[in-house]
Structure 1
Amino acid sequence: MAGFVRAQLYGGAITVELPSVFGDVSLIREVPDTQEVWLDRDGFTSIIFDLTERVDESQASGDEEALKYHFQDMVGDSNDATQCWQTNAAVLSRMPNVPAYALLATQHPAAARGGRGPQADFTAILLVLVRLAETKTDILITVNVPHVPGEYSKEDIDFAAAKHGPLVDAATIIRQRILETFEIKDFGLFVTE
């Protein structure tokens, strides 16, 4: 895997290290103000940082339920088959007192979709939820790994046996580096009422 470089998100309010082969999508198309989107220049993997309103107790009874709530909200009501393989607590090395949780899931499209580019057989989703109670914010960090025919070997993958294949293994390294380097520098980024 290529090296990592420090990225300034949201005007420098958040810093994190991302792979040097990933580019800022906002340089080529419009991205919502609440998001930062980075795309692998050499592949199909993307990393999305999304500032969302904190899920409250009426929507989810605890932090792990909030993780699942956000995941369901993200995958939507499509007919795509989704499978959650793993959820666990995570640690932000530079912010160890901030609650964080991780999830690994797959999403298989129900039917071929029209559009540009090749159709993925499935997408692996590595989701991190960062919970900021004092600012009423949940930060979602998603590493999306489309598995496009010809880009991976089906023999390398068996999620039920914890055999994720090289694309997800690479994404796991990216997620781990994000957990190690993610840091909020300016809490003024978050609007509190």
Structure 2
Amino acid sequence: MADGYRLTNLFGGAVQCPLPATFADVSEIRRVPDNQEVWLDTNGLTSVVFDILERVDGMSDVDALQFHLDDITEESGAEIDGEVTVLMKGEVRFQKQGTKAYGLLATSLPGEKQRGRDNEPDFVALLLLLVRLVEQATDLIITVNVPHVAGTYDSGEVKPEQGRYGGLLLRGLEIREKIIEGFQIVDWGLFGED
């Protein structure tokens, strides 16, 4: 695959998705749950996380998107009101798969688990995609995490709430678009189907 991306096999090849060639499988250095794939930029701090979760029933697709965002930010300890800001939300279509999905862009201040650590971010941009697989009773969540750590970006030029994204977030948006263009489920048996 040209342009610095490679077609990447996920979940034992059941899913294929273009990812930057500089991204590495985190499971090669630490344990990752079976329902998750985590890929990290070897030249930076951006990561892409793929989660296969039980479908959240009893709410609209947009509310399910918000539910999953809340779950992600709560895990990082950023659940205090005002620490998470949703900037964009809407419907998208995975081009190769032909599947409807929902996406959002949010920013999150560092949660308690991130505070005081090396490379503590000033904020993290979250590019979240939700694919609701009704027949499989599954929510597939794809999150592009873009930490903004002092010294890795020009804080005077980055104001996501004003549409000024800067290089790191623009790269995250590009990764999200490549995923939307090329994501494909090739083996539905991953979800318990024959």
C-alpha contact (below 8 Å) 2:144/2:172 kept by paired residues: yes
Counterpart mapping for 1:90-101 below 5 A: 90-96=92-98, 98-101=99-102
Gaps of 5+ in 1: none
Is the counterpart of residue 37 in structure 1 residue 38 in structure 2? yes
Query: How big is each residue's C-alpha offset from its partner over 1:22-81, in whole Å with a ceiling of 9 and x where there is no partner?
Result: 000011111000000000000000000000011101xx2x11111111111111163371
What corresponds to 1:54 in structure 2? 55
Counterparts in 2 of 1:58-69, with a 5 A limit? 60=59, 62-69=60-67
Secondary structure at 1:169 match in 2 = helix
* Aligned length in residues: 186
Distance 1:86 1:7, change over 3 A: same
SS of match in other structure, 1:168: helix
Equivalent residue for 2:86? 84
TM-score by length of 2: 0.91
- Gap change, CA 1:27 and 1:191, over 3 Å in 2: same
Q: Is the 8 A contact 2:15 2:187 kept in 1?
A: yes
Corresponding residue for residue 9 of structure 2: 8
Identical-residue share of aligned pairs (%): 42
Shift of 1:160: 2.3
Residues 123 and 148 in structure 2, CA contact (< 8 A), matched pair in contact too: yes
**8 Å contact kept, 1:35–1:48:** yes
SS at match of 1:135: coil
Q: Structure 2 stretches of 5 or more lacking a match?
A: none
- Contact preservation (8 Å) 1:14, 1:183: yes
TM-score by length of 1: 0.91
